[in-house]
Amino acid sequence: MKNKILIILLSLTMSSLIFTSCTKKDVETTSKPVTTSTPKTTSLDLKSFLPYSQGVTLTYKYSGTSKEINAKIESVSENSVTVSHGKSSKIEFNNEGLILNGDFLLKLPIEKNASWDSSKGKVTIKNLDYVLSTPLGNISTIEVLVEGDTKTTYYFAQNLGVVKVTTDDGEKISELDLVRISSPSVSSDSKDTTPKPDNTNTIKTKVSKLYYYDGNEDAIVYTSANTSISEKDAPKFFEDKFKNPPKDTLSKLMPSTTKIKSIKVDSKTSTLTMDVSEVFTESMNLGTSFETGILQGIANTLGDAYSCKKVIITANGKDFITGHVEINAENPLETSINESKELK
């Protein structure tokens, strides 16, 4: 069973390349489970999208244990890749998709809810855009479900391949995470010559809307953003937008002295945590309504972008406490975008 999972893991690593080539725009600008337009299939050179070369080793770890599984890429040819994990497995790919032992691991065109039958059960693409918290960081992934004797879900990402696998056999759920990618040693005294991949600039988050508080109308309004940001640039991007509303009639969501230190997503609990340098609402001298409106604008903006229902704000890692509110894990802000109005 473990060998089968590992074979499919590396196969889907290749499948992520197919998705990248078919729908590059969707991958680079997505961050959450949303309804997307149908991707268009284009002429592909799959080999040009291979993120790993011969000799690269991918290390996966079972969640909650110290057990690791290594898979080494033995060779890469024009239409196949050979992976060694105790034994060798050959994955083939053509203009229809990826094939292993006669089964399609992924079929073109890539579309949400697309499904087909395999010897392992029914395969369904559940989401094209899903933010996943992994040992390598918060990553926008594609979610693929295989339903047979067990339910196995694969999450794979642009430039990384499969980053997580969950298996539910009806009695327990096991998780397997990509934790390390290593190249062959180039010096005798080097144990690991290749650092973990820097995804902070390659994994993109789509920001569709920005939400602000309109004190004159006592309402949350939104304006279109339609942009994509990297994980590395996210704090600076949101900091700038929070400090500079598009109209003078809208309240600033954050003073100029405040810095966003980090933004982290826990997809399991649908919770985003933003750590800032200070309890900024204290210096803004706000009444209850304005403070509530400003915090709601922040929660809606971040929650909408990262598909999170709950938003927690911390100040230097501690609870965000003001004269009016106390924000923490037990009392998070709730995303509420349905009641927002478009800014005119």
Query: How is 154-174 classified by DSSP, letter by letter?
Result: EEEETTTEEEEEEEE-SS-EE
pLDDT at 23 over 50: no
pTM over 0.75: no
**Percent of the chain beyond pLDDT 70?**
75
Query: How is 106-157 classified by DSSP, letter by letter?
Result: EESSP-TT-EEEETTEEEEEEEEEEEEEETTEEEEEEEEEEESSSEEEEEEE
Q: Residue 15: what pLDDT?
A: 39
Task: Give 102 or 278, the one with higher predicted confidence.
Answer: 278
CB atoms within 10 A of CB 66: 6
Contact, 210 vs 181, CB < 8 A?
no
CB atoms within 10 A of CB 309: 15
Q: Residue 34: what pLDDT?
A: 32
Under the banding of pLDDT at 50, 70 and 90, the label for residue 242 is very high
Q: Residue 277: what pLDDT?
A: 93
| Gap between the terminal Cα atoms of the chain | 57
Q: Residue 9: what pLDDT?
A: 55
Residue found under tokens 């309240």: 251
Q: In this structure, what token pair is assigned to residue 172?
A: 């327990």
Instruction: Give the bridge partners for 260, in sequence order.
Output: 276
Q: Residue 202: what pLDDT?
A: 47
Task: Give 38 or 204, the one with higher predicted confidence.
Answer: 204
Lowest average pLDDT, out of 131-135, 158-162, 206-210, goes to 158-162
Q: In this structure, what token pair is assigned to residue 56?
A: 């690269």
Residue from 81, 84, 5, 6 nearest 49 by CA: 81
Distance between CA atoms of residues 29 and 25, nearest Å: 6
Q: Residue 85: what pLDDT?
A: 67
Q: Residue 204: what pLDDT?
A: 66
pLDDT at 49 over 80: no
Q: Residue 73: what pLDDT?
A: 81
Query: How is 196-211 classified by DSSP, letter by letter?
Result: PP--TTTSEEEEEEEE
Under the banding of pLDDT at 50, 70 and 90, the label for residue 41 is very low
What is the pLDDT averaged over residues 223-250?
91
Tens digit of each residue's pLDDT (9 = 90 or more) over 306-339: 888 999 999 999 999 987 889 999 999 999 988 8
Contact, 39 vs 109, CB < 8 A?
yes
DSSP letter for 44, please: -
Distance between CA atoms of residues 297 and 310, nearest Å: 13
Q: Could you give phi then psi for residue 75, rounded to 5 degrees?
A: -155, 155
Reported as type and span, the H/E element at residue 342 is strand 341-342
What is the pLDDT averaged over residues 114-119?
88
Residue from 155, 129, 166, 213 nearest 13 by CA: 155
Q: Could you give phi then psi for residue 196, rounded to 5 degrees?
A: -60, 145
Q: In this structure, what token pair is assigned to residue 44?
A: 């592909």
Q: Could you give phi then psi for residue 310, rounded to 5 degrees?
A: -125, 145
CA dist 217 to 249, 287, 293, Å?
10, 15, 11
Domains of the chain in sequence order: 2-182 (2.40.360), 206-342 (no CATH)
Tens digit of each residue's pLDDT (9 = 90 or more) over 280-315: 887 777 788 899 999 999 999 999 988 889 999 999
Distance between CA atoms of residues 31 and 65, nearest Å: 28
